[in-house]
Amino acid sequence: MADSKRISKIILAAVIAFFLISWIIKGLAIHDEDSVLWFSVRDAFLITLAAFLTLAIFSFLYKDNPYYKFAENLFVGVSAAYWMCVGFWSTIIGNMLPNLSESLSSTFGVPYKGFNIFYIVPLILGILLLMRLSSKAGWISRWALAWIVGTTAGLNLVRYLRTDFISQVSNTFVPLLVDWKGFGAFYSGLSLASTGQFVMTLSNWVIFIGVFSGLIYFFFSKEHKGFFGVASKVGIWVLMITFGASFGYTVMGRVSLLVGRLTYLFKDWLGLIS
């Protein structure tokens, strides 16, 4: 126990020393005659800090460790505050205040739009929500919650139906025989070109059967037996092929992200590549 504590202390010292040296070297590297010394020191610090945090997160891949814990907790705190400030400045000051109070608007330097009584409502609802902090009157906050849940449920019910559901249903109406001019023409013009009749017709059939069997798979009140059994099996096959394909396709994007991160380390921090 005492040993492992000593080892982690040594590691800590080594890490601190390493990043201090890196800071100094970076500072020397970016400093030239024209730049102010303090700016070089500061910029070098920020680059080194970002590199340290990057490596601290990567160290999580080995195992959970104090450096990851440090980065994680710092990240949580800073980001929560960041969004709090953004919300306050852009929404409360930028959006609500100009509709409520002239004097406060001018204090914060936002153009006053005229008093609008409708902006009292969210203020009241917001205060109702804050009543949660009181143990006695906490139930009042449910009024605000009820408004939020009701509105969003109604809002999304129809909007989702329109944007996704109906457009997907209507797009399923595809001709199962593309440019059909009889079997003779079909055979003579047979080609594997992606815009050819054969591939288009085949694709439309796959789409039709895929959607059909996929929907059968999602039937809850029918036992998957007989016809339903076969159809739902085809459905889950199509789903699995799709999942595999999407997975394989995503690898590229994820590798690009890692390339971006390592480029930062190798180029911006260590200067190994140009």
Site for another protein in 43-62 (CB under 8 A): 46-47, 49-51, 53-54, 57-58, 60-62
Minimum distance, C-beta of residue 182 to another protein, in the bound complex (Å) = 14
Site for another protein in 108-127 (CB under 8 A): 108-110, 118-119, 121-123, 125-127
Give the binding range for another protein (CB under 8 A) out of 6-14, 15-23, 25-33, 90-98. 90-98
CA dist., res. 9 & res. 60, Å (int): 19
Handedness of CA 175, 181, 182, 188 (dihedral sign): negative
Question: Containing H/E element for 185?
Answer: helix 183-188
- Residues 6+ away with beta carbon under 8 Å from 172: 207, 208, 211
Minimum distance, C-beta of residue 34 to another protein, in the bound complex (Å) = 21
Binding status of residue 133 toward another protein by CB under 8 A? yes
Site for another protein in 216-255 (CB under 8 A): 216-224, 235-255
Binding status of residue 81 toward another protein by CB under 8 A? yes
Considering only 24, 155, 190, 230, the residue that binds another protein (CB under 8 A) is 155
Q: DSSP letter at 94?
A: I
Considering only 13, 28, 86, 230, the residue that binds another protein (CB under 8 A) is 86
CA dist., res. 91 & res. 126, Å (int): 13
Binding status of residue 25 toward another protein by CB under 8 A? no
Binding status of residue 106 toward another protein by CB under 8 A? no
Tokens of 83: 């969004």
Minimum distance, C-beta of residue 189 to another protein, in the bound complex (Å) = 16
Binding status of residue 132 toward another protein by CB under 8 A? yes
Torsion of CA 3, 8, 10, 12, to 10 degrees: -170
Number of residues that bind another protein (CB under 8 A): 150
- Residues 6+ away with beta carbon under 8 Å from 51: 19, 22, 264, 265, 268, 269
Binding status of residue 214 toward another protein by CB under 8 A? yes
